[in-house]
Amino acid sequence: ETGVTQTPRHLVMGMTNKKSLKCEQHLGHNAMYWYKQSAKKPLELMFVYNFKEQTENNSVPSRFSPECPNSSHLFLHLHTLQPEDSALYLCASSQGLGLAFFGQGTRLTVV
Amino acid sequence: AQSVSQHNHHVILSEAASLELGCNYSYGGTVNLFWYVQYPGQHLQLLLKYFSGDPLVKGIKGFEAEFIKSKFSFNLRKPSVQWSDTAEYFCAVNSGGSYIPTFGRGTSLIVHP
């Protein structure tokens, strides 16, 4: 248990579906991140929120839409995904200095 | 932009063998350095970190890493690995002015009993 909780743990969705990934942290951290972990590729930073404000959008396609309603919750809304978007999506949080705590991830499969 | 290179993508060892995983980064200024481990089916967790001070850092489970500034390196070591060390290991760096870590592509370690 890292203090960062992601739901669901597994998700299978069709290319026309709309779904959302949820991340929650109660560590008092001010920064939250979405990373994508694909096989044989480095962890890819997708979005960063600092004090609820989006500070990074790493050229992520618009079919991924983040939302940060407060400093404890982070969502990733998904719509019209492609099979190549299948990956492990990791949420992380930190209180400065890049010392990130990670959730267990959501294993997403797009069919 | 900073980048992180992990040279060994796959490492296979027998139990009790010594381990060294390479990590090099490209940023020339002040850096904070991390090693994360991801056991099969589990979340990424921090093994050790370097912010300042003694460049030889001790982490959990007998791991250590040495920061060599002149070589832009932060290699991970363990004198004697165990089967339970089988995992994916990630090096990460963030430059002094940023709180966002950049990750290497990871090294998959398999330890045979």
Q: B81 or B102, which is more confident?
A: B81
**pLDDT(A87) > 70:** yes
Q: What is the chain B residue with the closest CA to A107?
A: B41
Mean pLDDT along residues A18-42: 91
A99 touches B at CB < 8 Å: yes
With a pLDDT cut of 90, the percent of chain B lying above it is: 70
Give the minimum alpha-carbon distance from A109 to chain B in angstroms, rounded to a whole number: 16
**pLDDT(A19) > 90:** yes
Strands of A18-25's sheet in order across: A4-7, A18-25, A73-79, A64-70
SS3 A32: strand
Of B87, B105, B90, B10, nearest to B41 by C-alpha is B87
Residues of A in contact with B51 (CB under 8 A): 97
Are A33 and A44 contacting, i.e. CB atoms less than 8 angstroms apart?
Answer: no
- CA-derived radius of gyration, chain A: 13
pLDDT digits (tens, 9 = 90+) for A36-47: 998 777 788 899
Q: What is the distance between the alpha carbons of residues B20 and A87, in angstroms, rounded to a whole number?
A: 28
Cβ contact A41–B105 (<8 Å): yes
Q: What is the chain B residue with the closest CA to A93?
A: B100
* Residue A47 burial (C-beta neighbours within 10 Å; 0-12, 13-18, 19+): buried
Residues of A in contact with B92 (CB under 8 A): 98, 100
Give the minimum alpha-carbon distance from A23 to chain B in angstroms, rounded to a whole number: 13
Q: B99 or B3, which is more confident?
A: B3
B72 touches A at CB < 8 Å: no
Are A106 and A94 contacting, i.e. CB atoms less than 8 angstroms apart?
Answer: no
Q: Which two tokens stand for residue A22?
A: 């949820």
Q: A2 or A93, which is more confident?
A: A93
Backbone angles phi, psi at A83, to 5 degrees: -55, -30
**pLDDT(B26) > 80:** yes
Which pLDDT score, from 0 to 100, does residue A25 have? 96
